[in-house]
A and B are shown apart, each in its own frame.
Chain A
Amino acid sequence: MSAFLAYWLLQLQWVFFAYFIVISVAYLALHFISVTTTIRYMRDNRAPYLPRILPAYQPPISILIPAFNEEQSIVSTIHSVLRLDYPEFEIVVVNDGSNDETVARVIAAFAMVEFPEAYRQRLPTEPIRAIYASPRFPRLRMVDKDNGGKSDALNAGINCIRYPLFCAIDADCILNPGSLARVVRPFLDDSTTVASGGVVRVLNGCTVKNGFLEKVELPRRMLPLFQSVEYLRAFLFGRMGWSPMNALLVISGAFGVFYKEHVVAVGGYRTDTVGEDMDLVVRLHRRLRRSKRPYRITFVPDPICWTEVPTDVKSLMSQRIRWQRGLAESLVPNVRMMFSRRAGLIGFLALPFMIVFELLGPLVEVTGYVAMVTLWLLHLIPLQSFLVFLFLSIGMGILLSMNAIFLERLSFQMYPRVGQQLILFGAAVIENFGYRQMTTLFRLVGLIKWLFSGKARSDWGRIVRDGSWQRSAPDDADEPPATGIREAIDPTATGAHAARVEAAK
């Protein structure tokens, strides 16, 4: 029996080796594409070369902030959104049946009053309790509804919004004043754009004042620092690499802009998944590919949104399990797109890549580690081979992280000091000795949970928040300008876009 096992474990070595080579080549290719795309993007956006776009040509946007028990951060987030440098936008906060003081705090902070909204239910949701508007901040409204999960809250928000484009953001995110203008740019440059996302960065360690990022620093604790490197990897070449091929499968739920009518056409956010953001993007691709309509789902390398990452292992585990389940729930129902001619690069590259390397990756990696250790313990491979393969695997991990740091340098240099870059490099090295293996294990647990439990419900994925960035510079709440909605506003907004959608049909 042991001879049989040993034989198969030895054969598996070759499978792992081949897998390792293929994944390394794939990541290096993505890195190459990201570098060329980023260089071109930075070249064109290094300075404001062109005259300012006339406000009439910037599409108005609805900003959706779904919230569940966000009494700590919701007021600060709304203040930060109210100060965005963008000509025309409205904010719709959706309270998903919070059982804390979320609603009361928003009502008090923004002097909100109940509003007799002629609510129209295009997407089914849990019942709406009330809708509020603010006479002091006419851009702001709040939908109070029964609890139904994040997707349900987003769908209720979509039912309420006025504008053709909407931007969904997490209630605990911090934005830059120019975030919206940057992420909307693809819609202005290419009229076939249906969704766009940008880079989400780690907020831990930074300083926030009046709802805006004042000072960018690296996290001081190891766990968030490792995640800073991970975020750079995931966004700067994970996503930038797929965008030029129009094969981007994820736009972060923390900050993404979508064309409302396309989202409604695919039925809005799915409420029976924990990965509603990725699921939506995959379904958009599927529908638009099927209709043979030209479209673009795009990604900008601008750091537009900052979010706090888990600082304790328990929260990190729950987050990664949730992400892996979300990944499985988004990919598996669309597996028929794989190798379908109609699906183009999505079917031939993006989906197989995501399934083989991202979804099944943890299984292969953990099996690989276990097999190597077992073979070494059984003296079936020499220590030398074991160490060489470990060296190769860790070396590749460090190289990929270094690629991401290099891309950060090429793009927006949010960590400009040489010291910061050395710290990032140090983290890129150290994370390979324990942290990566730990997160791989969490992802494997997520995969197993997805396999053996039923469908999940879109939830809120709570993590324990450190919040030190808020303490370090308390929000002294200078009031944002109470700019009125000109919406009544601008009837052109909806008409032109509706005409465009209709024309495309």
Chain B
Amino acid sequence: MDFISGAAPVVVFAFFAGVAICALTLLMLLATIVMRMIALRTERIDAHAEALWKPILMAPGTAAVTGLPALHRRDVRGFIEAWNEAHEPLQGATTDRLAQIADKVGLQQQLCRFLDTHRFHHRVIAVMALGHLKSDESFKRVLPLLDDKSPIMSLCAARALLQIDPQSGVPKLIPLIVDRPYWSQGVVASILEETGAFAVGKRLTAATLHATSDVAPRMIRFLAGVDPKAAAPIIREALRSSLDTRIITTCLQAITDPTDLVYVRPLLTHSLWFVRMQAAATLGNLGVPGDETLLVGLLSDQQWWVRYRAAQALLKLSFITTEDARRIQQAQTDSYARDIIDHVLAEQTIEVAA
């Protein structure tokens, strides 16, 4: 303290600020090391639980489960993680056997305990496990989590509800899919496809029919993924009557019925290039003899992408050979049209070679 005695107040202030900063630095170093040590301890416990339980959970066969070790409180988290992992499609364990194990170790009670904690990870893995457990009484416990402010939690809850009771879960979930654009579309699609057309199709169709133009493109895409048959009439109607280009392009991507091409062909002359482009691509997938003439017309389009997709579509048509494409190329007066055929033919050669 002698060092700063008699110094100006600002110097004294600076000195003590420096001391505080140093103390804070050391505190952070200490916190970093302590956190690391705690993490190491947790990792050790989890590794122990995994080493103990994973072979049991992953073991093949359907024989009755006997001689299970006791599930210690400190191993519960590791057990739940391993149990959830065993349900992943490629892990090979049968769910009946996993359910037996869950029953014997009293998993349901442990999951309820985990749901009541404030630790995010514990709550999410508990929700995931409740979904796999498919116990009816869990439905009410999981339902409120659909409104959790974390999209991870609410999506996990949505998945669990559909796993527990799809018939009751679907009516709860579909309105949320409509209202929550922030839910990852890829995850929602995955959950819907996992649940299957039988459980989801009807409600999803109804919601798609009533969707606003903002929501309709993603609903059509979900429906086409889950239940293409149910999507077909909606796609047809949208192509016939909609003026919204996002809906039109989504429908063009989802179309599977060649009889609907009657609505696609007029779109080849649409004023927006990406609609023309998408229409050309659709024609490539489903086109019939005669459509090649329409596609040839697009080879001279002003937009590179339209020319490119038209040339690709042309070569995709089952009745157009490479020689036909060359003949079409030679008949073109526009150099852009000739170049794009060269480009796509070269691409095709490379793909064949690969």
Contacts and interface: CB of A to CB of B under 8 A. Distances in A.
Contact of A115 (B22, B194, B346): B346
Contact of A402 (B29, B37, B316): B29
Given A43-B121, A389-B14, A403 B28 contact: yes
Interface stretch (B55-63, B65-73, B232-240, B336-344): B336-344
Contacts of B284: 491
A367 interface: no
Interface in B138-153: 150-152
Contact of B190 (A54, A496, A498): A54
Given A54-B186, A484-B351, A495-B274, A46 B36 contact: no
A188 B3 contact: no
A250 to B, nearest CB: 26
Interface string A464-505: 000000000000000000101100110110111011101100
Given A51-B191, A421-B32, A484-B351, A188 B186 contact: yes
A140 to B, nearest CB: 10
Contacts of A49: 124-125, 128, 152, 156
A461 interface: no
Contact of A495 (B184, B281, B343): B281
Nearest to A139: B354
What range describes how many residues of B lie at the interface?
35 or more
Given A421-B32, A499-B249, A499-B274, A53 B186 contact: yes
B278 A120 contact: no
A57 B354 contact: no
Contact of A405 (B7, B32, B125, B349): B32
Contact of A56 (B81, B124, B225): B225
A414 interface: no
Interface stretch (A323-331, A343-351, A391-399): A391-399
B176 interface: no
B78 to A, nearest CB: 12
Nearest to A415: B36
A352 B152 CA distance: 36
Given A58-B186, A385-B11, A392 B252 contact: no
Contact of A117 (B186, B190, B343): B343
A44 to B, nearest CB: 5
Contact of A54 (B8, B151, B225, B273): B225
Contacts of A52: 190
B301 to A, nearest CB: 12
Interface in A4-63: 17, 43-44, 46-47, 49-54, 56-58
Given A491-B309, A495-B281, A396 B21 contact: yes
Given A384-B3, A496-B249, A138 B277 contact: no
Contacts of A500: 246
A485 B348 CA distance: 11
Nearest to B352: A135
Nearest to B192: A54
Contacts of B308: 118
A409 B7 contact: no
Contacts of B108: none
Contact of B281 (A44, A491, A498): A491
B185 interface: yes
B31 interface: yes
Contacts of A499: 245-246, 249-250, 274-275
17 contacts: A43-B121, A49-B125, A56-B186, A118-B308, A191-B181, A388-B4, A388-B7, A389-B11, A389-B14, A402-B25, A405-B32, A418-B33, A491-B281, A495-B249, A495-B252, A495-B277, A498-B273
Given A116-B346, A496-B253, 20 more contacts: A49-B152, A53-B187, A56-B186, A56-B189, A57-B184, A116-B343, A134-B350, A135-B350, A384-B7, A392-B17, A405-B28, A405-B32, A409-B36, A485-B351, A494-B305, A495-B249, A496-B250, A499-B246, A502-B272, A503-B246
The list of the 4 closest CB pairs from A to B, nearest first, reads A57-B186, A53-B186, A491-B281, A498-B274
Interface of A: 17, 43-44, 46-47, 49-54, 56-58, 115-118, 120, 133-138, 188-191, 382, 384-385, 388-389, 391-392, 395-396, 398-399, 402-403, 405-406, 409-410, 413, 416, 418, 421, 425, 482, 484-485, 488-489, 491-492, 494-496, 498-500, 502-503
